[in-house]
């Protein structure tokens, strides 16, 4: 019984380390210009909303969003929120020079650049730089606090639960 408890504590510690891995974006990303390409765009100056549709690609440094539609909400010419939708919408960003890309997907992605929060809604998946992958109905990702929260549906259906794959540490 004691060995099962030790193993369980080890698994919990590994999960906590993997899920809360630091995911700060490259500091230079915020200083780079934003490039957006799409089939069409519409800007409402009064509401501070710009809508891009048709194979949208948005880049800022290592940050990239690909979606069918991207809506940018601005206040005083500062981006407050970016909502990307697609089948799926995709997000990627390199957390630091020595780490690999963090890749996220969802039917809807809401990104709050000021708060550094990312919400992946419906068919959500998140792959962190160590290869750890999480899937579920919804994943809330607080980049600043290095906190990931995932939710599945409250049914017993196997496909609607949270799934996580933790990669083994690689030997040097």
Domains of the chain, residue spans: 2-165
Mean pLDDT (the chain, rounded): 81
Give pLDDT, residue 5.
Answer: 35
**What is the CATH architecture of 2-165?**
Sandwich (2.60)
Choose among 166, 165, 162, 119: nearest CA to 139.
119
For residue 72, is pLDDT > 90?
Answer: yes
Residue 75 vs residues 17, 48, 78: alpha-carbon distances, Å: 37, 6, 5
State the pLDDT at residue 89: 98
C-alpha distances out from residue 67 to 10, 36, 60, 113, 142, Å: 39, 11, 15, 17, 21
Would you say 106 and 89 are in contact if contact means Cβ atoms under 8 Å apart?
A: yes
* Selected residue with higher pLDDT from 154 and 18: 154
Tens of pLDDT, residue by residue over 94-111, are: 877 777 788 999 999 999
β pairing state of 163-165 and 133-142: antiparallel
Identify the top-confidence range among 86-100, 104-118, 126-140, 142-156. 104-118
Q: What is the pLDDT of residue 157?
A: 59
Question: Phi/psi class of residue 123: alpha, beta or left (left: φ > 0; alpha: ψ in -120 to 50)?
Answer: left
What single DSSP character describes residue 27? G
Does 83 or 98 have the greater pLDDT score? 83
Who wins on pLDDT, 167 or 141? 141
């Amino acid at each position: 019984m004691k060995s099962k408890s030790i193993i369980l504590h080890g698994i919990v510690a590994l999960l906590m380390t993997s899920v809360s891995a630091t995911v700060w974006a490259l500091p230079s990303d915020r200083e780079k210009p934003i490039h957006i390409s799409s089939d069409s765009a519409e800007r409402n100056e009064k509401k501070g909303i710009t809508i891009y549709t048709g194979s949208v690609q948005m880049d800022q440094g290592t940050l990239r969003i690909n979606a069918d539609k991207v809506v940018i909400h601005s206040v005083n010419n500062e981006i407050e929120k970016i909502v990307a939708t697609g089948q799926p919408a995709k997000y990627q960003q390199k957390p630091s020079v020595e780490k690999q890309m963090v890749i996220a997907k969802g039917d809807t992605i809401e990104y709050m650049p000021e708060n550094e929060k990312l919400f992946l809604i419906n068919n959500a998946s998140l792959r962190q730089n160590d290869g750890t992958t999480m899937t579920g109905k919804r994943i809330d990702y607080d980049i600043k606090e290095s906190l990931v929260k995932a939710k599945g549906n409250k049914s017993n259906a196997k496909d609607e639960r949270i799934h996580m794959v933790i990669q083994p540490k690689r030997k040097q």
